Structure 1
């Protein structure tokens, strides 16, 4: 396992204005609680893996452990977002939507058995996934352009719901 804290440069493939800027140094901090790690450091396991840290957890290989945690985090964000939309706090909504979007991108990639490999050209990466909702790229583009709008929140909720159904369908078919 990685040391508790490791500072490293974000790979250029992860540069995306919503998540990481071009000159970002990121403190990679593995919390004792995996849920807290996922919450505080988006894409931490993917970036560590892409950066050749071979001793890092691989959530895409341990889906039964990580998916319930991601779903818990999404449900927590969803409740908070509902409350923020009621009071029309768009600034806080945007920050939480970006975090929730990160959870979704991880869920989508991990449910396809792979790490998130890039955010810069995410459209190509998502297009190449076998299991994804219909029009996933177009729907995500809408969310990314307008993350603070209620329609984006509804769209993200639907994407999560559809992806979870597809994941459990895939599991059921494997068992047969």
Structure 2
């Protein structure tokens, strides 16, 4: 029998969509606790694990979005300048493609986790983005545009705008929730 950290799971069919799909068909169980470490190893780790295993993590990232969404947005902010420089030099290459797909993946994580739900599919038409409460305007159409040409300059601009809108709406929602909680506490006193 394999050690717990050697456990391999089959990548769900719903996660095998271009441009995200890879030649890999499995992913390993990770024994890490730091969200940044996990995201650097396997971006959709928690979402895939949720679909394939009865071993749901104790603290799924979509239920602790105040910490995890901030971490995802921070990772995007570290990737964004490199992409911007690559596009300014007009030198798209394999690295730009890889970073672009990673950035799109980060947006999807931020979008779903901000809505306290896991990603169930990487096929935009099966994501049910329209049912999410917290999302940028015309999010589904803009995602389809980006995924049609993930390394295009205009796709990068759209992705920047989607992240900016999501981040603004997310922090606004958190602030409103904080005010409501404060009012409820004050009302009980």
Q: TM-score, normalised by structure 2?
A: 0.83
Match among 160, 164, 168 for residue 161 of structure 1:
164
**Aligned mates of 2:144, 2:154 — CA distance in 1:** 13
Name the structure 2 match of 1:137.
140
Name the structure 2 match of 1:18.
19
Q: 1:53 to 1:155 in 2, by over 3 A?
A: same
**Superposed, which structure 2 residues align to 1:13-162 within 5 Å?**
13-21=14-22, 24-31=25-32, 33-51=34-52, 52-55=54-57, 57-87=59-89, 88-122=91-125, 124-162=127-165
CA contact (8 A) 2:112 2:119 kept: yes
Question: CA offsets per residue over residues 23-78 of structure 1, 9 Å max, x none?
Answer: 71223434353202112211101111122222354111111221221112101110
**Aligned mates of 1:75, 1:55 — CA distance in 2:** 27
Structure 1 residue 162 displacement after superposition: 0.3
Name the structure 2 match of 1:6.
7
**Aligned mates of 1:5, 1:62 — CA distance in 2:** 27
Q: How many equivalent pairs are there?
A: 175
Give RMSD over aligned pairs: 2.1
Q: Which moved more, 1:36-45 or 1:158-167?
A: 36-45
Question: CA offsets per residue over residues 101-144 of structure 1, 9 Å max, x none?
Answer: 00000100010111111113545421221111111011111110
**Aligned mates of 2:29, 2:87 — CA distance in 1:** 31
Query: Match of 1:20, SS?
Result: coil
Query: Match of 2:95, SS?
Result: helix
Q: TM-score, normalised by structure 1?
A: 0.89
**Aligned mates of 1:14, 1:27 — CA distance in 2:** 15
Structure 1 residue 20 displacement after superposition: 2.4
CA contact (8 A) 1:13 1:121 kept: no
Query: Match of 2:97, SS?
Result: helix
**Unpaired stretches in structure 1, ≥5 consecutive residues:** none
CA contact (8 A) 2:124 2:140 kept: no
Query: Match of 1:75, SS?
Result: helix
